Structure 1
Amino acid sequence: MAAQYVSNGSGVSPHRGIVDEDQPKFPWKPGLGLLFGGAGWYWAGQAVNAVLLPAKIGQIDPQGKVAMVAIVSTVTMVISIFAGIIGGALSDMTRTRFGSRTPWIVGGVILGTIALLCFAFTSHVAVVLVSWWVYAAVYNAMLAAGCAWQPDQVAPRWRGTASSLYGVGHQAALQGAQVVAALFVTNIPTGVIISLVIGDVLSLLSVAVCREPSNTDVPREKFTISAALTNFLPPKDGGRDYWLAALARFLWMVPGGIGTYRLYTLTDYMGQSEADAGKWMSFMALLAVIAAVSCGIIAGPIADKFRSIKIPLGVAILTVGLPCWLPFFIPTTVMYTIYVAVSSLGSGVFSSLDQAIMTTVLPNPKNAAKDLAFLNSCGVVGNLCAPLLAGWVIHTFGYAGLFPMGFIVLTLAAICVFFIKKVH
């Protein structure tokens, strides 16, 4: 297998990136590395962010917990954007016998473990917040480096399958981490330790399986102030495809407010009691996991077989957007559940192919992690805007307005994908 940074004896230019001719068979080592990494890199962060952090804040400040969680979440997103970009750029510049990404993943495991242990065993609010924000920075830098394994070591012809493996791991972590962490909301230190063990083992397993090649023979660019600053800025030569992918990523996340206000939609719009709404939400979550993971497993290999990523990704986005009209015209819990189930099929495909299309539009293999981190940061900004837009829509049009909003925004996202020329 040839990799991006291998130049001695492989015939692969360190500045060209790996191409189809270099990789006639699917690269299972980086593929499985992305599978385990997709689960490991997200596990502890998701467990804490979604479950254990709110529980911890609730114990420390039960009266002001709602406002504090909102503030902490906003600061966390800002830190995530900058940490991902800076971490990605630094990993692009790293030269070691273990490659450019592995040191950041292993270092992230070590520093992240220390930060979350501090979080787990303190009740001082300042220490809790600082340790969590330190972890958020480390976690996003590690994630930016790890995601670059795909453009580094996987040829375009196999990126659908590789992205699918990563997507399955990612989905497993997003749902599984919450299920496990929810068992320990009254025993947060134990929940943090168990989440760390699962996340750290999977992350280190990803490194061991992938076995990133050395890149010590790749020359460094001559240091100048302007060159150093450029390493932390968006690509000047990104081209329309890169920015269309960035806009699609942003727009994909913007309708997330529909899920944020799902409980209130069920109670205030559809007339359910909180207890019944909770049961419906649990059932919706179960259907969503089954649908998303099932589609995620098969989407990548099918996309590779037919040599097409753009069309299934665009259709997947529309599959999430079109069902928004179901609960709009028939506002019942059954129709809302059908909407969630159908849209989850598209979400599973998107999760599987998203990384494939983003890595294909990257303009320069030398800056893959940094440029990929910028694309991911567009999703973070979209996620930050989601509850704000949803709140404005509810205030202006009521809960029913969420569903046309979702359809309109996701249709624009699909159009952006269809207009990308570099991806078939």
Structure 2
Amino acid sequence: MDATLADDRPLVSKGWIGSYGVMYLGINIAWSAPSQLLIANQILAWHPEDKEARFAFIMSLGGLLGLVVSPLVGILSDKTRTRFGRRAPWIVIGAVCAAASLVALAFSPNYVLLVIGWAAFQIFIAAAVNASQAIPPDRVSRQQYGVVSGVMGIGWTMALVVGTLLGESLPLVAAYLASAALLLALCVPYLIWHNKASVLPTQDDQVAESSALTAASRGAVMDAELVGGFTHRTETAARSLADYRDFMWVFISRLAATLGNTVALFYLLYYLRDHIKLADPDQGVLILTVIYAVVVIGASILSGRASDAAGVRKPFVFFSCLGLAGACLVMAFAHSFTAVIIAAVVLGASWGTFTAIDQALINQVLPYANTRGRDIGFMSMAVALPNLASPVLAAFALLVLGGYPGLYLISGLLAVIGAISVLAVRGSR
């Protein structure tokens, strides 16, 4: 997106930001409750003997579908033209159909229908997530990108808490229905009162509708684009891979740290039930999630300010990765819930610091101004791939590497790889 166009936009109101944040919260609550507790409990009731493998399969399938559907919806919504804008129709379709899928999941009588229902849900919730994430670049002034991104981060973290609270405090069917209701209800304020403000013509629309371009000028523009495209391709081919050296090391660091964190959290309910022998593992997940979320938010705010004041990024990323490894080491050998709580505090502080500083480091190592969008899109795969791979790796570690100690040791090793990788970055402090 052209930064000049973004700077020319009027500032969005606090009401706009608030209603958008509420909508983003509702969309994330929808997947949080099922993935944190509900599906795991359903599988536990039906198949206690192989619950880990079945849970890994259904989560992996959902991650794969989300990875495929999200960019597809992005392409389709870019081409959508309605009086409600490009994104709102996909949010409505995604939210309504995802809510219907949650209702179906609530009444699934067996594992096969649970898999089908979860697959449908992941397709539709991916549509809503993608379309909602595309709204800020469409509408928000560049001066407010940070504020809106912060609201999105808070919404995502709070969704983990609310979703876990729903799963722990309500009966299974009621928790699914409440998740579906919140998904729809929290989307309403933005779609009704603030969506009109985001229905802006795109730059392509303005060019297409303009009568100022004559046939000759259009031909000149096409010629310039052909020459420019050829020149750009020639220059790109001549660029050395060395220009992407720091970028790739940051990618490896982010991939390893994210994978370690997602593997560490994947079997949390079963870990508390089978390894820690906690009497109420659902309540344990809720307690840990609340602690984790509060510490993540606090660490993100404090570390971001400290990093800006110090003018350095790498030490924060390095030590946050080591903190992740330390938390995993505690969980590998913990035999009490108190030890797990300590690990949750360390994990939350480390992950909050990592997520706050990692994005700043990414921005500093982008090699070319004219390929930032493409490069950031590639970097996002360092988050998407762990979400897809973590169920398989967690199941493998649990079954082959000696149970939960092996699982958490492999998570810690991944975090250490993330720490070592960031040290290889040369072009940033």
For the criterion TM > 0.5, the same-fold answer is yes
Q: CA deviation at 1:407?
A: 3.8
Residue correspondence of structure 1 range 228-377 to structure 2 within 5 A: 240=244, 246-255=251-260, 256-260=262-266, 273-275=277-279, 283-296=287-300, 302=305, 314=317, 317-318=320-321, 320-321=323-324, 323-324=326-327, 327=330, 333=336, 336-351=340-355, 374=381, 376-377=383-384
| Cα-to-partner distance string for 1:11-48 (whole Å, 9 max, x where unaligned) | xxxx5245775469686466435522331111112212
Shift of 1:275: 3.3
Alignment of 1:68-107 (within 5 A): 68-107=54-93
Separation in 2 of the partners of 1:51 and 1:328? 20
Separation (CA, whole Å) in 2 of partners of 1:34 and 1:412: 38
Q: Give percent identity, aligned residues only.
A: 18
Shift of 1:419: 6.0
Q: Distance in 2 between matches of 1:55 and 1:396?
A: 19
Q: CA deviation at 1:173?
A: 0.6
SS of residue paired to 1:218: helix
2:388 to 381, 402, 406: 381
Change beyond 3 A, Cα 1:209–1:356: farther
Partner of residue 187, structure 2: 203
Conserved? CA contact 2:299–2:353, under 8 Å: yes
| Counterpart amino acid of residue 195 in structure 1 | S
Task: For 1:257, give the aligned amino acid.
Answer: V
Structure 1 CA distance, aligned partners of 2:332 and 2:387?
31
1:155-174 CA deviation, whole Å, 9 max, x = no partner? Answer: 55544332221111101111
Residue 174 of structure 2 corresponds to residue 194 of structure 1: no
CA contact (8 A) 2:332 2:409 kept: no
| Count of residue pairs the alignment pairs up | 390
In structure 2, which of residues 135, 139, 156 is the aligned counterpart of residue 149 of structure 1? 135
Q: 1:338 to 1:84 in 2, by over 3 A?
A: same
Range moving further from structure 2, 67-76 or 131-140: 67-76
1:26-75 C-alpha deviation (Å, 9 max, x unpaired): 86466435522331111112212222223344555566655433322221
RMSD: 4.7
TM-aligned CA distance change 1:327 to 1:123, over 3 Å? closer
Query: Are the equivalent residues in 1 in contact too, given 2:324–2:347 (CA < 8 A)?
Result: yes
What stretches of structure 2 of length at least 5 have no aligned partner?
A: 209-221, 223-236
- In the TM superposition, residue 344 of structure 1 has moved relative to its aligned partner by 0.7
* AA of the residue aligned to 1:290: V
Alpha carbons 2:24, 2:156 under 8 Å: kept: yes
The answer to whether the 8 A contact 2:322-2:415 is kept is no
CA distance in 1, matches of 2:396, 2:303: 31
Q: Distance in 2 between matches of 1:64 and 1:332?
A: 23
- Greater CA drift, 91-100 or 291-300: 291-300
- 1: CA distance, partners of 2:139 / 2:359: 14
> Match for residue 172 of structure 1?
158
Map 1:26-175; keep pairs closer than 5 Å. 28=14, 31-58=17-44, 65-123=51-109, 125-154=111-140, 158-175=144-161
Deviation string 1:101-127 (CA, Å, 9 cap, x unpaired) is: 222112211222222233334526544
Kept in 2: contact 1:250–1:382 (CA 8 A): no
SS for the counterpart of 1:95 is: coil
Opposite residue 89 of structure 2, the aligned amino acid is P
| Cα distance change, pair 381–395 in 1 and its aligned pair in 2 (3 A) | same
Give 1:411's aligned amino acid: A
Asked if 2 retains the 8 angstrom alpha-carbon contact of 1:112 and 1:138, the reply is yes
Moved more, 26-35 or 114-123: 26-35
CA drift of 1:268 comes to 8.7
Alpha carbons 1:89, 1:369 under 8 Å: kept:
no
Contact 1:91 1:100 in 2 (8 A): yes
Distance 1:266 1:60 in 2: 19
Sort the Cα spacing of 1:348 and 1:242 in 2 relative to 1 into closer, same or farther, 3 A: same
Alignment partner, residue 226 of structure 2: none
Query: What is the distance in 2 between the residues matched to 1:253 and 1:397?
Result: 19
Residues 363-372 or 125-134, more deviating: 363-372
Q: Secondary structure at the residue paired with 2:204?
A: coil
From 204, 213, 234, the equivalent of 2:199 is: 213
Q: Output the TM-score relative to the length of structure 2.
A: 0.70
Considering fraction of residues, name the structure with more helix: 2
Q: Which amino acid aligns with 1:348?
A: G
Supply the AA of the counterpart residue of 2:263: G
Which 10-residue stretch deviates more, 99-108 or 287-296? 287-296
| CA 1:268–1:195: 2 relative to 1, 3 Å | closer
Asked whether 1:401 is paired with 2:409, we answer yes
**CA deviation map 1:137-157 (0-9, x unaligned):** 111122122222343344555
CA 1:113–1:374: 2 relative to 1, 3 Å: same
Alpha-carbon contact 1:161-1:304 (below 8 Å) kept: no
**For the Cα contact (< 8 Å) 2:57–2:392, is it kept in 1?**
no
Q: CA–CA distance in 1 between the matches of 2:410 and 2:166?
A: 31
Letter in 2 for 1:38: Y
Match of 2:228? none
One-letter identity of the residue aligned with 1:101: R
Stretches of structure 1 that go unaligned for 5 or more consecutive residues are: 1-14, 223-235
